[in-house]
Structure 1
């Protein structure tokens, strides 16, 4: 069974680059030690940073960034793969 974890954060005003850097330099290395099958960092309009990680079992939690980087609390969703083409 493959699980995916989506983690999305909206940056505080003027902090999008800092939040992206934190995700790349802090969150991703922390997740690598837990052994995801794949991890992807994305950005979107509205100063949003998104991490998607795929796991062979239960996903590891993404740590929270420092509060001063955030415009609102982080959103998290877990999914279970049902079909891949």
Structure 2
């Protein structure tokens, strides 16, 4: 999971930049979200046998001046899923 907060007034630009980024390889799924305060979140799902220790592609940091602070990145491993209704 990748999350960044845009610099003042640059939310649409950060969102467009994040949507244009293509990670190396092909994730099983990718979703891009926006949130209040010009935050952008990108979640990707990968097939990985090594779980949390797997080496996977990462989205880069945005160009200088586009984000208000350093990017936050988290790795998660699925432990349970429910079917969609």
| TM tier, smaller | 0.7 to 0.9
Task: Give the TM-score, by structure 2 length.
Answer: 0.84
Residue 75 of structure 2 aligns to a residue whose secondary structure is: strand
Answer yes or no: is 1:50 the counterpart of 2:50.
no
- TM-score, normalised via structure 1 length: 0.84
User: 5+ unaligned residues in a row in structure 2: which ranges?
Assistant: 49-53
Structure 1 position 51, deviation (Å): 0.1
Q: Number of residue pairs matched?
A: 76
SS in 2 for 1:41: strand
The list of structure 1 runs, each at least 4 consecutive aligned residues, that deviate by more than 2 angstroms after superposition, is none
Which 5+ residue runs of structure 1 have no aligned equivalent?
1-5
Which protein has greater RCO, CA pairs closer than 8 Å, 6+ apart?
1
**Relative to total residues, which structure has the larger strand share, 1 or 2?**
1
Please name the residue that 1:40 is paired with: 31
Answer yes or no: is 1:11 the counterpart of 2:21. no
Show CA shifts across 1:30-62 (max 9, x none): 22x411000000000011000000000133111
